[in-house]
Amino acid sequence: MDPQVKRALISVSDKMGLTDFAKGLVAAGVQIFSTGGTKRHLETNGVPVTDVSDYTGFPEMMSGRLKTLHPKVHGGILCRRDDETDMKSAADHGIEPFELVVVNLYPFEATIAKEGVTDAEAIENIDIGGPTMVRAAAKNHKFVGVVTAPSQYARVLEQIQENGALTMQMRRSLARDAFAHTAGYDAAIARYFAEHDGQATFQTNFSTSLKLSAELRYGENPHQRAALYVDPKFKGYSAANARQLNGKELSYNNILDLDAALAISRSFDRPAVAVLKHNNPCGAAVDDVLVNALRKAMDGDPLSAFGSILGVNRVVDEDCANLLAQPGLFVEAIIAPGFAPEALQILTTKPKWAANVRLLECGGEKFERAPLNWAVRPIAGGALVQDADVLADPEEEWRVVTEKEPTEAQMRDLKFAWEMVRHVKSNAIVLCKDEMLVGVGAGQMSRVDSVEISVKKSDGRCEGAVLASDAFFPFADGIQAAKGVVAVVQPGGSKRDQEVIDACNELGVAMIFTGRRHFKH
């Protein structure tokens, strides 16, 4: 039989909704015990409260560090009602059982996110008593319900009001959430110490703290479940924390493409647009005028651009909206720092696809090139963790290895192409002209195949274009297949580098070695 909820221990930092919840408990006949700020909050709002110190006979001390760490508190949470020894110990020592524990923890993540927070402030916001009570209650969920978030108040109160108790199913669910809550809390603390201390080596235990943001319709395919989790500490521009202004619900694949599109556009200081299809760019461009960058990006591969996802590094303006609303164009989603009111009006009313297009405003506190520290890839039985490949390469390390040097215009295109190729699945080849993507060869098992595909996709525009390769050319055939290309940028490092250089010299093509590879598997 489910234990009747007679006594509740409440100690919370986030007091949202607490007064109504506590009043509901009292009305249902529940006696409330509390401490410190929570007790004062409840008393101020007319809720009768028993002070934990009066119950334990032990005062709060050490500036609040020691409040609930007492056998009469934890004995009341941990005692097993069906164990004669536990119940005798409780009776012998005046321990009263608690059937409900309501605790949310010191705001550690909110504290460390503040500008100028000191190490001492961060450490004082590491909760000790709270997690201890939460874990104790979750462990003893056979008899105790544990509430760790205001979002749980309504359903908990409803059961207590109806039955005077919580069902085992409810207590088990709350316990599961509680352990996830404390695990995430500890992960955030571990990450703070690693980051704050400048830890250069990998941690013995890799941990992170992510919060469930949304359950998605399905994953990559309809038979796969999926959900979006967010990092509450991250305050920059991202697809994860973007605000959807219009359109259908986002899918798993939409979010992947939105993230990739934003990663490309945010790589450039000048106005930039990236056009994504199946997590590879089929168009991208920069220009001094945003609408020109958009036009060039959409023209990169008009066929593939149909039904694509766009990433923009400026507020989408009216000119851009009018261009996208032209007949024959169709986009699935657009992510940008914002949308001008006129642009939003056009995009949500004018095109045939206006009702469904997903418009995401990714406004954050900062639009930075490199928002990631780690790249994590799950594998069966574990995960691979590496530095994220997001930082710009030092151009002072680049060297021209051919007889011919690139012109100033070619150099601009080479820099653009080198930035783009890191965003394409390897083996990756990109062709660029006038700071615009004109051909892409992605994900082929042979580099020369990628070259041939990029030339084909360029639809004749490879004449006078530059080529970027994410890794070295193992043979000269890749260069020989790049018909019309006038300059090449690649890492170098092959045993046959000289053969590749010789091929460039024979064709009158300039080539730069960067010394750095950009595989994207």
Task: Convert the pLDDT of each residue in 477-496 to its tens digit.
Answer: 999 999 999 999 999 999 99
Lowest mean pLDDT of 2-11, 333-342, 384-393, name the range. Answer: 384-393
Is residue 109 over pLDDT 80?
no
Share of the chain above pLDDT 90, in %: 64
- pLDDT for the residue numbered 364: 64
Is residue 356 over pLDDT 70?
yes
Which uninterrupted H or E stretch holds 322?
helix 318-324
Phi, psi of 102 (to 5 degrees): -120, 105
Distance CA 253, CA 218 (A): 9
Answer yes or no: 278 catalytic: yes
Lowest mean pLDDT of 51-60, 61-70, 292-301, name the range. Answer: 61-70
Angle between helical axes of 168-196 and 153-163 (0-180°, round to 10): 160
| Residues 6 or more apart in contact with residue 150 via CB below 8 angstroms | 14, 16, 17, 18, 21, 104
Is residue 473 over pLDDT 90?
yes
Homologous superfamily of the 395-513 domain (CATH): AICAR transformylase, duplication domain (3.40.140.20)
Q: Confidence class of residue 372 from pLDDT cuts 50, 70 and 90?
A: low
User: 190-225, pLDDT tens digit by residue?
Assistant: 877 777 766 556 767 676 777 888 999 999 999 999
| Residues 6 or more apart in contact with residue 355 via CB below 8 angstroms | 247, 348
Q: Confidence class of residue 64 from pLDDT cuts 50, 70 and 90?
A: low
Dihedral through CA 286, CA 256, CA 367, CA 388, nearest 10? -100
Distance CA 28, CA 30 (A): 6
Choosing from 6, 15, 23, 139, the catalytic residue is 139
Tell me, what amino acid is at 48?
P
Whole-angstrom CA distances from 146 to 86, 103, 150, 450 are 20, 8, 12, 57
The whole-chain average pLDDT of the chain stands at: 89
Is residue 140 over pLDDT 90?
yes
> Given this chain, do its domains 240-361 and 395-513 carry the same CATH topology?
yes
**Between 28 and 124, where is the model more confident?**
28
CATH code for residues 7-196: 3.40.50.1380
Is residue 409 over pLDDT 80?
yes
- pLDDT for the residue numbered 83: 85
Whole-angstrom CA distances from 322 to 295, 344, 459 are 11, 10, 26
Is residue 434 over pLDDT 90?
yes
Choosing from 6, 72, 248, 278, the catalytic residue is 278
Helix, strand, coil percentages for the chain (3-state, nearest 5): 35, 20, 45
Region 230-259: mean pLDDT is 89
Is residue 458 over pLDDT 60?
yes
- pLDDT for the residue numbered 369: 64
Architecture of domain 240-361: 3-Layer(aba) Sandwich (3.40)
Q: Confidence class of residue 184 from pLDDT cuts 50, 70 and 90?
A: confident
Q: Where are the domains of the chain?
A: 7-196, 240-361, 395-513
- pLDDT for the residue numbered 148: 92
Is residue 407 over pLDDT 60?
yes
